[in-house]
Structure 1
Amino acid sequence: MGEGLDEKDKLGKKPMSRAIDTLKVFRDIIQLNPIKSVLPIATSAVREAGNRDEFLNSVSKETGFNFKVLSEREEALYSYVGAIKSLNIPDVLFFDIGGGSLEIVHAERFRIKKVISLPLGALRLTHQFDGKKGKLTDKNIKSLKRYVWNLLPNKKDLGLNESTKLVGVGGALRALSRYEQKISGYPLDKIHNYKISNKSLDSTVNRLFKMKPDDLSKISVIGSSRAETIVAGSFVINTLMEKYDFSNLCVSNHGLREGALSIFLEDPKAYHDGSLTAEQIRKTIGLDEPHKINHEKENFLNTLVSIKLISKREKMIFDYAEKIMSEKSSFSNPQSVFYSIMDEDMPLDHNDQLVLGLSLVHARHTKTSDWLFARYKTILSQQDRVSFKKISVLITLQKILERTKSKVELKLHGMRIVEINISQSRSTQIFLLKDALRKFESAFDVKVILSMRQYSGSSHNSMLEL
């Protein structure tokens, strides 16, 4: 859409015609499906165009779509909400690099501190610095980096602290990330929550810069649609990391579209009139949602953490496993369950998500979990193997305890002896419980002393050997 915008301050006839034809295709697809609401939004290219009203009137007349033109603030915040809702990172410097602009949001504890929009879009900078030659030269890149550096606010002015994480979205960033994964042999086909180090980014950006646009367009993860703009976009991201001294960058696959939809669903009025408040942002991200807590289970897990049998990370992954088990109707095919988990975009990083999937698989089929671990061993550690075995045992044990409405107390004797006291309201299959506890001993490298008590009508106690 922004093609030639800097020269004439108007949208060209060619991109306008192309956009209207594409919208007609979308309209026909929508009419073939049971879709009740459509949220058409326009960003910087349309917002800045001198002929935007003419274009939007033509769009409305020919397609029936009435576009909401986002302000700079709305564009930045919608994109922030979409990304952070899916990542749950409280202290963040967030950016969205589009074709015409770069949106930046700084937040602490999910509270917005600064919202900035800069004319540093990948397409805009490509046209501004490529000298009409179709490729950025060494001299032009130096000018581009200096221009970007000078436009970006100072670190002190943004008020960044040590806990601030860098999170980004945008087509140029997604293409850059996929290419970095391709050349590094990354085994997962997954962008959301992917981390790129500054060293790896430097190397990848310089590699892209040395290639001709025709060669870039032949790379499947870049393609002709990004070949023209990926170099300029990559140098913006590189400069941003360098100026603010970030060691790594987190990529989100969610952004403007997901944020706009989430805000509309949470508060249609705020979406339509642009009156988005800090409280509405927090609600949309989901920070104020009540969480139902099983106190018996929580106490059991917290005791395991306090006596250092599991880490806080392992407890967190177990909590996700419990949530998934309550939502999924079937676990008959462990491998399918694993891949469905890996297809989801979660706040978990890739390692933790792999451990989550392996935990659920291992609880049902150990050979499959061993095969999957071997497949992804380049990004997993032996500690990850220990973790998923521990979590899988807890999944099985917790299931037995819940179904028998049991209460559990743990005591640690010395370093490697665990006393487990179970009070039951109904009897359980003792051999099933003992089998689960043998696996507990193996996974946690401890000796278990089991004491059982019926608390419905009698106070019978028994000590069982495993």
Structure 2
Amino acid sequence: MRIGIIDIGSNSMRLVVYEVKDKSYVVVGQVRQSARLGQNMENGNLDRGRIEYGIKVLHHFKEYMDSKEVDEVIAVATEAIRKAKNKEEFLTRAKSALGKDIRILSGEEEAFYDYYATVNTIDLDKCLMVDIGGSSTEIALIEDKIIQESISIPFGSIVLTEKFNLKNNEKEEQNLHNYLRQSFRKISWLKNARGYPIVGIGGSIRTLGKIDRFRKDNAMFISHNYSMDQKDVSEIYELVRDYHKGVVKRIYGLSKDREDIFIGSLATMNILMRYQNSKKLFVSNAGIRDGLLFEYLLGRNKRVRDVLEFSLDNIISNHMYKGYEGKDLFKLVSAMYSALCKSYPYLIGNGKVLKTATYLYDIGTNINYFQRDRNTFYSILNAPINGLSQKQILMAASCASVFSANDLLKEFFNKKILSSRDMKIIEMLGILIKIAESLNHGVSDNTQIRSISLTDSTMVMEVRSKSDPLFKLEELKNYQSRFKYLYKLNLDVRFV
């Protein structure tokens, strides 16, 4: 089953095509055009040229979906269309181009779908969610992963750019800052979110994260769940101001089709973080389209139980062979990890890293079995894993391939992303996966750890196997010396 989800925004129009199977999904295509429907809206009407361009985009979307054999289309529009006096003309022509009615979302619905995307892809119990679009900004207060309050404010990157002349004009810049603070003061419930982390949604926020990744030499990281400090946002704001003054000639990560409207969005986030005393900004790749997808998969208002588990299951379902033993291995690995954490407390807190590494330990085989370790490293590093930070994803990729990808790890160590302790933890976790592989020896549900005990010199494991353990014991010999080097313990495995 393939579905196409179209989001007609004030700045850009996007189409994402998903392959859906039960409750799993994979993106098979995406098209984005900067239509700027919210620009040049005189007397509340959509600009004639913008309408013509937008209809051409929808014709292209239809052609694209036909080539991908899309079975179902969900199409929505937001603030620019919602407030336009001539929206019926656009909607009539849009239906003719797509063969599908366009659903206009209310501000509250926009906030809901943003919220639904957030709680199902980012593992935060409480946050302030902010979606800065072209013509509106949605803000929602989330506590215990439930939306408590929400509002749609009728300004965004395009509106602020047209309202204020921000290029090298300090007086207008100050007027913008005052306008933003006054707008935030009118939202009485914002005080309940003082100090909360902010989850930022929208193209401008993704651009902000991209700029930060480039300037920190972290461009290899995917943007979803990338975190920034308030200081980072302020520094990038100053950088963009210098760019508009001509002091800075180029900003890596800032695209030409966004540079004229970006500073308004950036100012909004900078002022809001200061106003709220929010120290952290999490960049979200998910938004309205993802919220609509989760509604399609789960039904309305049904959150996934575990953000990380859901995304890992989704990856395995879409990319791994029948009989894949990653989840089965984790039963063995988690038993060893729990026992060792009692004697090595600095391992505590890496359970999610180890789970991800074990679940996806052999994902590289879907590219080339004979280069699977190296492929596994890059596959995990670039996989759509939700619920982990970029550093945790890097550590998981490293754990899964640590004994075959040391040259890759040195690159990240040199960039000061990983500390010497991180490198040691990666090896200590990685050896547990190798031991579990030896115990299972490629046969799922064959081996069970009955007990683990630690003495001053030895870790003793009593293991039950449904088959002759001869080859398992031979395989274990390859890792006993490395285990002793890392843990200062002998490894004594007894099959009972």
Q: State the TM bucket, normalised to the shorter chain.
A: 0.7 to 0.9
Partners in 1 of 2:409 and 2:215 — Cα distance? 26
Letter in 2 for 1:4: N
Match 2:255 to one of 209, 215, 223: 223
* Equivalent residues of 1:167, 1:249 under 8 A apart: yes
In the alignment, is residue 354 of structure 1 matched against residue 394 of structure 2?
yes
* Equivalent residues of 2:117, 2:291 under 8 A apart: yes
SS at match of 1:400: helix
Match 1:383 to one of 410, 421, 426: 421
Partners in 2 of 1:440 and 1:163 — Cα distance? 43
Correspondence for 2:198: 166
Correspondence for 2:16: none
* Equivalent residues of 1:174, 1:251 under 8 A apart: yes
| Residues 56-455 of structure 1: pairs in structure 2 closer than 5 A | 56-130=91-165, 135=167, 137-153=169-185, 157-158=189-190, 160=192, 164-212=196-244, 219=251, 221-267=253-299, 276=300, 280-283=301-304, 298-308=334-344, 311-325=347-361, 329-330=365-366, 332-333=370-371, 334-346=373-385, 347-363=387-403, 365-374=404-413, 377-403=415-441, 405-414=447-456, 417-425=457-465, 426-429=468-471, 430-444=473-487, 446-448=488-490, 450=492, 452-454=494-496
Partners in 1 of 2:170 and 2:151 — Cα distance? 29
Partners in 1 of 2:293 and 2:405 — Cα distance? 41
Q: 1:215 and 1:233, CA in 2 relative to 1: closer, same or farther beyond 3 A?
A: farther
Structure 1: runs of 5 or more not aligned: 268-275, 455-466
Q: 1:366 and 1:309, CA in 2 relative to 1: closer, same or farther beyond 3 A?
A: farther
Structure 1 residue 65: deviation in Å? 3.4
Q: 1:152 and 1:179, CA in 2 relative to 1: closer, same or farther beyond 3 A?
A: same
Structure 1 residue 228: deviation in Å? 1.2
Number of equivalent positions: 434
What is the identity percentage for the equivalent residue pairs of Structure 1 and Structure 2?
A: 22
* Equivalent residues of 2:195, 2:277 under 8 A apart: no
Structure 1 residue 400: deviation in Å? 2.2
* Equivalent residues of 2:243, 2:249 under 8 A apart: no
* Equivalent residues of 2:195, 2:279 under 8 A apart: no
Correspondence for 2:22: none
Which segment is superposed worse, 134-143 or 15-24? 134-143
* Equivalent residues of 1:214, 1:227 under 8 A apart: no
Higher share in strand: 2
* Equivalent residues of 2:365, 2:375 under 8 A apart: no
SS at match of 1:86: coil
* Equivalent residues of 2:243, 2:251 under 8 A apart: no
Residue by residue, what CA displacement relative to the aligned partner does 1:272-308 show, whole Å, maximum 9, x if unpaired? xxxx4xxx2425986997x989766544332222333
Structure 2: runs of 5 or more not aligned: 1-36, 314-326
Partners in 1 of 2:195 and 2:342 — Cα distance? 25
Residue by residue, what CA displacement relative to the aligned partner does 1:253-277 show, whole Å, maximum 9, x if unpaired? 121211112212323xxxxxxxx4x
Letter in 2 for 1:397: I
SS at match of 1:115: strand
Partners in 2 of 1:335 and 1:288 — Cα distance? 24
Structure 1 residue 384: deviation in Å? 1.4
Correspondence for 1:457: none
Q: 1:349 and 1:295, CA in 2 relative to 1: closer, same or farther beyond 3 A?
A: closer
CA RMSD of aligned residues (A): 3.0
SS at match of 1:450: strand
Letter in 2 for 1:72: G
Structure showing greater radius of gyration is 1
Partners in 2 of 1:191 and 1:418 — Cα distance? 43
Letter in 2 for 1:381: S
Residue by residue, what CA displacement relative to the aligned partner does 1:57-109 show, whole Å, maximum 9, x if unpaired? 12112442321111111111212222332222221111111001111111112
Which segment is superposed worse, 119-128 or 153-162? 153-162
